[in-house]
A and B are shown apart, each in its own frame.
Chain A
């Protein structure tokens, strides 16, 4: 059941992210990229398999020992989240800088002001 719920949520998140990336407003584009990379993280967790209990075996040992969730994907997602923070922060700062330089964050107007 959880799989179906997660699959539906993943689909929705990707759809929302794609929708936002295609907007004219740069801030929305950055939001879209952030949502897409977050849904990639959720997908990563899903790919690790959902069954099992907490990945720490010895301490406390609630639930079934032996059937544990794959701890590796959680480590991967942590890394990916940290990288995501950094890149999102940079993208937002860059958006601010674009606004300073061009006086607009509308991608159509940016394109019109271009010389290429």
Chain B
């Protein structure tokens, strides 16, 4: 088999699993086995793809659908950045899947849960692999369509209401995305990302006016910010995460959000960074001539707003899942902050992107762990309100240990993965001499400590509450597995850092990306 075919391996695995789980829906145990095997197969597929990229001379493997060369056909590109994100998705989704098998009711699983879950993974995988902005829209829709149903899964009162907000907002986001993509096609004459980067690098030769491209890329940015739940587009996050079943909330926070982050890194650091700003453009805070110099301050403002809004919001929450949802807004700010610094200061660009990736990885693991743990707590005590919780350390020591590790990882205690995430964020800000970014990160870190210690005090210590039901051990095992993941990623940090560095270099290696895709130039 040619290495190019490996690119579609994860995509096909997820799709075939989705279809098989639909076909075996009347045989409960078979369906669950197929679903779990599919999750494992996905991880293997990503692993094989990673190996292939390591073995490849350029580190980029391109699959041209039906052998139509770029820019005419649809291109799938697997490079270090895409595979890094795929690895995160594969690991988190496997834990959430194992958890779902015991957590979701038999009826729910039989009706639709497994096919939807795997179709969501198809969308996530496609978004990471696509090399074409219109297909990015299509994969987003595939992912969102399944996530709409999963948010509304319990279809109780607050679930339908949260799903309605989520659906309407995302439909509007999709329309805006379509507008931006249409505009970009009209101004640059291409949809292929590599081709677009090539054309934007030499706008005069292709008759491209950079001013509309800047505006359209800013419109497109709002859509990714909406999907990633970055302030000021964060308001849909808490109700949707609270309404979704715990493993789905874990996936939404751990993986689906990262698709927005990935799109920002890929498009703004690889594609649009090629262009130069129109001459004579003067905006406050604008110093350079690259598109990134424009997006740097924008990213910084949004990151600051996210960190503060999420942090203060989380401190004031009355429920565990509400706190986790707000914390998720704040943590996305932490992912965005090094990107903002990296966009403004070219010297720390690789480090900044690597920091954002490591933080994404840490947040993916830790937040998924915490959401899964909150699901078990609700099973055990029947409530997630801090007022009615207490003494969980005595009632469920293993679960509490897992929750504690997840909280420590987000706070950033060594040797957990979160320590390196936070360290790199601070390092990026310090090396760039960005005092403001450093200050924001410090405030954010203190807020993180505040809301987690509050949660710990009120939920896990004190008078033990009555336990309604002992949840099955499988649920706790999924939490423990993720907790181990957080520890292992921290202790064996070297390979993780290498992978993140390779991914950051891949994101910035525009020439390599264009060469690998090799779009024919048609003026």
Contacts and interface: CB of A to CB of B under 8 A. Distances in A.
B57 interface: no
B160 A102 contact: yes
A113 B182 CA distance: 40
B399 interface: no
A81 to B, nearest CB: 11
Contact of B178 (A21, A29, A40, A98): A40
Contacts of B149: 90
Contact-residue size bin, chain B (C-beta under 8 Å from the other chain) = 20 to 34
Contacts of A110: 161
Contact of B171 (A39, A44, A87, A114): A87
Residue in B168, B175, B238 with the greatest tally of chain A CB atoms within 10 Å: B175
A109 B134 CA distance: 39
B171 A43 contact: no
Q: Which 10 interchain pairs have the tightest Cβ spacing?
A: A47-B186, A44-B182, A40-B178, A47-B182, A37-B175, A40-B175, A98-B160, A33-B171, A36-B175, A83-B141
A32 to B, nearest CB: 9
B156 A101 contact: yes
Contacts of B137: 80
A102 B161 contact: yes
A64 interface: no
Interface of A: 21, 26, 29-30, 33, 36-37, 39-41, 43-44, 47-49, 72-73, 76, 79-80, 83, 86-87, 90-91, 94-95, 97-98, 101-102, 110, 113-116
A75 to B, nearest CB: 9
Interface of B: 134, 137-138, 141, 145, 148-149, 152, 155-158, 160-161, 163-164, 167-168, 171-172, 174-176, 178-179, 181-183, 185-186, 191, 238-239
Contacts of B145: 86-87, 90
B156 A91 contact: no
Given A21-B168, A43-B179, 9 more contacts: A47-B182, A48-B186, A87-B171, A87-B174, A94-B152, A94-B160, A114-B161, A115-B158, A116-B238
B157 A102 contact: yes
B468 to A, nearest CB: 21
Nearest to B242: A116
Contacts of A29: 168
Contacts of B148: 90, 94
19 contacts: A21-B168, A30-B168, A36-B172, A37-B174, A39-B175, A40-B175, A40-B176, A44-B178, A49-B186, A72-B185, A83-B174, A87-B141, A90-B149, A94-B163, A94-B167, A95-B164, A97-B160, A98-B164, A101-B160
Residue in A21, A83, A95, A115 with the greatest tally of chain B CB atoms within 10 Å: A83
B75 to A, nearest CB: 15
B178 A26 contact: no
Contact of A37 (B152, B178, B239): B178
Contacts of B179: 40, 43
Contacts of A36: 172, 175
Nearest to A17: B175
Contact of A91 (B157, B167, B175): B167
A94 B149 CA distance: 9
Nearest to B185: A47
Given A47-B186, A87-B141, A80 B178 contact: yes
Contacts of A98: 160-161, 164
Given A98-B161, A102-B160, A102-B161, A83 B186 contact: no
Residue in B145, B155, B178 with the greatest tally of chain A CB atoms within 10 Å: B178
B239 A47 contact: no
Nearest to A97: B160
B150 to A, nearest CB: 12
Contacts of A94: 148, 152, 160, 163-164, 167
Contacts of A37: 171, 174-175, 178
Contacts of B157: 101-102, 113
A73 B182 contact: yes
Contacts of B185: 47-48, 72-73, 76
A83 B138 contact: yes
Contacts of B168: 21, 29-30, 33, 91
Given A94-B164, A101-B155, A21 B172 contact: yes
B269 to A, nearest CB: 25
